Amino acid sequence: MNKFKFIQNILLAVVMLLLMDPRSFYGLGFHEWAGLIIGAFFILHTLLNWSWIKKVTLVFFSHAPGRARINYFLDLLLLAGMVLMILSGIAIAKTIDFSWLNLGGSRGFWRAMHTSSSLISLALFGIHLGLHWKWVLKRLKIKL
């Protein structure tokens, strides 16, 4: 399971970086479809780590260590960022028709939401990666 999680995490990071510029060589269609796929993998990542989420949630205010609390809070921010990114991406999609969802709001609002949540989430992903760096090195079999 850890090998699968590691490969999934690497793919999430690479695709997230590729998606940061929708006008690059791969185009808007790729950006939108890959965004939906990365959203699905983020949900899978959350489900695969559900036991940790449940355990820390149950002891958060009484017994959780400081590092677990920091990770938990960071993960909540990442969840909010991903939800906003996916929702706003759906609202401004041009190559996939989501008009049937009738999300309302102006295109400018959703575009600003998409850009800001993407940039903030990218920074949060960097912090998340840094906090889990020993785990990454262990999976790569690199000794500190």
Q: How many other CB atoms sit within 10 Å of the CB of residue 117?
A: 20
Q: Do residues 129 and 136 lie in contact, with contact meaning Cβ atoms separated by under 8 Å?
A: yes
Residue 91 in any domain: the answer is yes
The tokens for 52 are: 């940790």
Residue 93 in any domain: the answer is yes
85-96 confidence digits (pLDDT tens): 989 999 999 888
Looking at residue 64, its pLDDT comes to: 67
* Nearest CA-CA partner of 40 in 114, 104, 90, 110: 90
Looking at residue 24, its pLDDT comes to: 72
Looking at residue 96, its pLDDT comes to: 87
Residue 10 in any domain: the answer is yes
Residue 107 in any domain: the answer is yes
Backbone phi and psi for residue 64, each to the nearest 5 degrees, phi listed first: -70, 135
Residue 144 in any domain: the answer is no
Cut 0.85: pTM above it: no
Residue 108 in any domain: the answer is yes
Query: What is the Cα–Cα distance from 6 to 17, expressed in whole angstroms?
Result: 17
Residue 35 in any domain: the answer is yes
Q: Do residues 89 and 32 lie in contact, with contact meaning Cβ atoms separated by under 8 Å?
A: yes
Residue 69 in any domain: the answer is yes
Look at the chain and report how many structural domains it folds into: 1
* Nearest CA-CA partner of 1 in 50, 54, 37, 34: 50
Structural domain containing residue 52: 2-139
Core vs surface per residue 88-101: b (16+ CB within 10 A) or e? bbbbbbeeeeeeee
